[in-house]
Structure 1
Amino acid sequence: MLLPDGYSDVPTGKIAAVVTHLEMTAPPPRRDDPPGAWRLRRVEQPALAWYRDLYRRVGEEWLWFTRTRLTDAALAAVIRAPGIEVYALVVDGRDEGLLELDFRESGHCELVYFGVTANFIGTGAARFLMNRALELAWRSGVQRVWVHTCTFDHPAAVAFYQRSGFRPFRRQIEVADDPRRDGTAPRDVARHVPVIE
């Protein structure tokens, strides 16, 4: 269904975001790593408590809630599925960034989740993480790497992805239950998206 021009009401208790899909169909020129003591660690068969904690620390402020609402069995089925790879950005021995890659569609890689915790935004950690993400994504047989972001994410997300070599190709509106109203997320997160009673 296409939305008409003009304003469209969002039902009470719901949130709506503009989602931008971006892709690249060839590896971009390599960008230098910024200075920093970061490393990337692959997490085989991620523990659910570990994943939930890092997912929350990276994404709660940006209203990442999809994985939070999954049961343990459903989450395990997703993050431990063949073709899914989960990585942590490690800083001083602590996991401070999340990268999840999906290779399940032949010839394609989706950056499903990508982000760093609040203390590392603007430090170069995301650039380091993206450099590693692109090295991992562009493996033999991959012809397209893509990602999506939305208006709930950091305001510089789209520009960051474009600087990384992605180009926008699709825009959608996503409507969902506000996770702060049902306790999935704390009431005081994402102040840039007000709770409407």
Structure 2
Amino acid sequence: MILPDGYSDVPAGKIAAVVTHLEMTAPPVRRDDPPGTWSLRKVGHPELPWYRDLFRRVGEDWLWFSRARMDDAELAAVIHTPGIEVYALVADGRDEGLLELDFREPGQCELVYFGVTAALIGCGAARFLMNRALDLAWSRDLRRVWVHTCTFDHPSAVAFYQRSGFRPFRHQIEIADDPRLDGTAPRDAARHVPIIE
């Protein structure tokens, strides 16, 4: 379905975001790591409580809800699948960033989840994490690395991805039940996205 020009109503109880898909088809010029003492840890078989906690701490303010709505069996089926790799950004001995890479499609890698906790935004940790993500992705025989972000994410997300070497190639509108109304996310999460009941 193609949306008509102009305004389209979003039903009460729903949220709507513009999703931007970005890709790169060759390794970019590597940007220098910012100063910092972060490290990256591969999590070979993520335990579900650990994953849920880090997913929430990184994504709750940006209304990351898809994995939060999964039951344990659904979540395990995704993050324990061969071809899915999960990493944690470690800061001061704590896991404070999430990187999830999907290598299941031959020749491609999707940055499925990428982000750092609120305390690390703006300090260079995301740049460090992106450098590691691109090193990991392009160490394989790939023709494409891609990611998507939306208007609920940090306002600098698209620009950050573009500075990292990605170029936008597609826009979509995503409509979903507001996760703050069904208890998936706290009511005070993502204050930049109004609740309409």
Same fold, TM-score > 0.5, yes or no:
yes
Is the partner of 2:127 in helix, strand or coil? helix
RMSD of aligned alpha carbons: 0.4
Corresponding position of 2:148: 148
* AA in 2 matched with 1:132: R
Counterparts in 2 of 1:161-180, with a 5 A limit?
161-180=161-180
Corresponding position of 2:51: 51
Higher deviation after alignment, 132-141 or 152-161 = 132-141
CA–CA distance in structure 2, aligned partners of residues 98 and 139 of structure 1: 19
- Structure 1: tracts of 5 or more residues without a match: none
Corresponding position of 1:75: 75
* AA in 2 matched with 1:195: I
* AA in 2 matched with 1:142: L
Corresponding position of 1:96: 96
CA–CA distance in structure 2, aligned partners of residues 45 and 11 of structure 1: 39
1:134-188 Cα deviation digits (max 9, x unpaired): 0001123211000000000000000000000000000000000000000000000
CA–CA distance in structure 2, aligned partners of residues 30 and 189 of structure 1: 34
* AA in 1 matched with 2:122: G
Is the partner of 2:32 in helix, strand or coil? coil
CA–CA distance in structure 2, aligned partners of residues 52 and 86 of structure 1: 12
Corresponding position of 1:33: 33
TM-score by length of 1: 0.99
Is the partner of 2:101 in helix, strand or coil? strand
CA–CA distance in structure 1, aligned partners of residues 26 and 133 of structure 2: 14
- Structure 2: tracts of 5 or more residues without a match: none
CA–CA distance in structure 1, aligned partners of residues 139 and 168 of structure 2: 22
Corresponding position of 1:2: 2
CA–CA distance in structure 1, aligned partners of residues 107 and 139 of structure 2: 9
1:22-48 Cα deviation digits (max 9, x unpaired): 000000001100000000000011000
Question: What fraction of aligned residue pairs are identical, expressed as a percent?
Answer: 81
Corresponding position of 1:106: 106
* AA in 1 matched with 2:10: V
